[in-house]
A and B are shown apart, each in its own frame.
Chain A
Amino acid sequence: MAETPKGLVDATPGIASLPVIFYQVNEAVNDPETSFGEIASIVNGDAALCARLLKIVNSSFYGFPSTIETITHAITIIGTAQLRDLMLATTVMTKFKGIRSNLVNMDSFWRHSIACGLAARIIATLRQESNADRFYVMGLLHDVGRLILFMAIPDRMESLLTRCLSGENLLHLLERDMLGFDHSEVGEALLKTWNLPPRLTEAVGNHHNPGDFSKQPVENVIIHTADIIANAMQLGSSGGGAVPPIAPGAWEEIGLPTSKLSDILNQVAAQFTDAIQMFVEES
């Protein structure tokens, strides 16, 4: 029986949905009739989540001059969609437990994901994209499919990792050889199961697509490029650890001069320590 990305997701226990509170907030954000106060009161129902969100909005990630003390205040400053995206980021990271540590060091995995998210957010800001925070979430989630693979088929992934580390090929290409698809498509299947927006699921599903980025949404090419930058900076690793090749024309599609790379790297490095503290400390 041939395996499919969806089949692997369905076979993995404990990841079928996100916490109810996320969907409640999402629904409220999408409903133009809902007030900031109503959204805040949903978030306030989860004290731990509240504390985490307030910590994030008060960090150098945003760099606001005064202290933000309430969720309502946070929403007025960063916006409802951004608050929802930050919630998604913090909730997903607590979902994955019990993966064998010989396969992946979870700390290192999230460090790589955060670096990718930061790079994506910085590129989006330089391109003056609206709601740059959603790019952070895309970057953060780009490799979640690999966690599914580690949980669903740990033994086979272990042998692939050995082959990858012995220099045979990039891990996602070995996955593709063995399964006919790679972790990017598994991640896409997972995010679809969670009913996340198509722009997000597509960007995750195409980050290793070597195809023509000029015909794809800008989200896809930004995540593809941010993953390369995160790997090159060696901030954490999601397995493998070599820099994947950049798809032809991808950087041209982003449209920034190559001399901006040093700015991007400097900004990722500057925000990295803070972002780690905000997003991974409790996992």
Chain B
Amino acid sequence: MSTIKLKNLKPGMVLADDVRDLKGRVLLARGETIDAKHLKILKAWGIAEVTVKGTGPQVAEAPDTHHADAKLLKKTEAELTELFRYADVQDPMMRELYNQCLDRKLKLNEADS
């Protein structure tokens, strides 16, 4: 099983765990197969991520950098490494922050070049 962001959740995926709101109420139960209506419900309740059964390429997540120019990506990564030099990017929160900032900065640098 793996935890994925809501935007990557597709109809047909199966929930590996209950989805709860901030107060702990169950919105959708474990084992439910996702359909379009469920996606709408989860979105309306502000759910950020869910745990689904199975792993593999369809649920794998990586920063969205595949389309970037290799040279620009390298330059941006160097800037980010410098910025994060005192932080532990192995920490899951810092890793995500790094990835998000890389994505943002890449877009800025692309707009500049």
Contacts and interface: CB of A to CB of B under 8 A. Distances in A.
Interface string A140-178: 000000000000000000000000000101100000000
Interface stretch (A55-63, A71-79, A84-92, A241-249): A241-249
A234 interface: yes
Contacts of B84: 232, 242-243
A259 B85 contact: no
Interface stretch (B32-40, B70-78, B95-103): B95-103
A262 interface: yes
Interface string A224-258: 00001101111000000111111000010000111
B83 A245 contact: no
A265 B49 contact: no
A234 B100 CA distance: 13
B97 A232 contact: yes
B78 to A, nearest CB: 14
Contact of B48 (A229, A243, A263, A265): A263
Contact-residue bracket for chain B: 20 to 34
Contact-residue bracket for chain A: 20 to 34
B48 A128 contact: no
Contact of B94 (A167, A233, A246, A256): A246
B83 A234 contact: yes
Nearest to B95: A258
A228 B100 CA distance: 13
Contacts of A199: none
Interface string A47-69: 00000000000000000000000
A229 B101 CA distance: 9
Contacts of A245: 86-88, 94
B87 A265 contact: no
A242 B91 CA distance: 17
Nearest to B103: A262
Question: How would you classify the secondary structure of chain B's contact residues: helix, strand, loop or mixed?
Answer: helix
B5 A246 contact: no
Given A233-B101, A233-B104, A246-B91, A261 B96 contact: yes
A263 B49 CA distance: 12
A126 B41 CA distance: 18
A97 interface: no
Nearest to A248: B91
Given A170-B86, A233-B104, A234-B101, 12 more contacts: A234-B83, A241-B83, A242-B86, A242-B87, A244-B87, A245-B86, A246-B88, A251-B93, A259-B3, A261-B96, A261-B100, A265-B100
18 contacts: A128-B22, A167-B85, A170-B86, A232-B101, A233-B101, A234-B83, A234-B101, A242-B87, A243-B87, A245-B88, A251-B93, A257-B3, A258-B96, A259-B5, A259-B48, A259-B96, A260-B48, A265-B100
Interface of A: 128, 167, 169-170, 228-229, 231-234, 241-246, 251, 256-263, 265, 269
Closest 3 pairs (CB-CB, A-B): A251-B93, A258-B96, A259-B49
